[in-house]
Amino acid sequence: MEMTVVLIRGWSFGFNKQEQQNNHEKILKHLRVIKHIHFIAWDGDPLSKDSFSFQIKLLMDALPHLKFVAFKNALKKEKLLDTYKKTNAWNVEETGFVNEDNCDFVTLDDFDKTFQIDKLLTTVLIPDEIISGYADIGLRGLRKLKENDVQECKMILLGGGECVKKEQATIKKNQADYPTISSIYIDTYRINKNTIEKSVYD
């Protein structure tokens, strides 16, 4: 049985409570028609109520049968645990998603196709010294998926800034290195510097 990997990307700040709920309902509608989801993955952003990462927590609660994978800088792995607390640059509290009992940590090298995803969250640790920029975290995760014979991924996009655009441009330029990406564009908006910014996709 061929399994599907679902990726979630988007803006890291600016979603209000109502728009988060709207987006959650849109995402659930799409997920209901995707067969055989192996896991849902993102690039390791911590949990923040105004970030796309809030959708990860909503999905964990709404779909407890699914597993989740975060690709994360190894030096910042504690940001995915619920013991982590910090006020970010937009004066919003960041925290993690799960306690240690519900999280496995595995190195990038050890995350191969034989790795069994047993816990709610698996965090794939990428060495800090090989990361060339924030977009590189997601790109290395995608290359690892390709090495593990994942040929196609569904990518749900909730807007997207320079990081998302750089990731997509790199994939388009080097398609042989990555799984085929089927994008699902969510029509949404955020508040950025007191201005409504609508999602625009190329």
End-to-end CA distance of the chain: 33
The whole domain housing 67 covers 4-198
CA 77 to chain centre: 15
Predicted confidence (pLDDT) per residue in 8-39, tens digit: 999 999 999 999 999 999 999 999 999 899 99
DSSP symbol at 45: P
**Which residue is associated with the tokens 């998302």?**
164
What is the rounded distance in angstroms from the CA atom of residue 163 to the CA atom of residue 175?
18
Mean pLDDT, residues 61-67 taken together: 96
The Cβ-side half-sphere exposure at 100, using a 13 Å CA radius, reads 4
Residue 172 token pair: 């388009």
Residues 94 and 47 sit within 8 Å (Cβ to Cβ)? yes
| Pairing relationship of beta strands 47-48 and 93-95 according to DSSP bridges | antiparallel
Show Cβ contacts of residue 16 under 8 Å, excluding neighbours closer than 6 positions: 50, 190, 191
pTM: 0.96
Output the average pLDDT for the chain. 95
pLDDT for residue 154 is more than 90: yes
Q: Indicate the number of domains in the chain.
A: 1
Predicted confidence (pLDDT) per residue in 111-134, tens digit: 998 888 999 999 999 999 999 999
Mean pLDDT, residues 54-68 taken together: 97
* DSSP string computed for 11-27: -SS---HHHHHHHHHHH
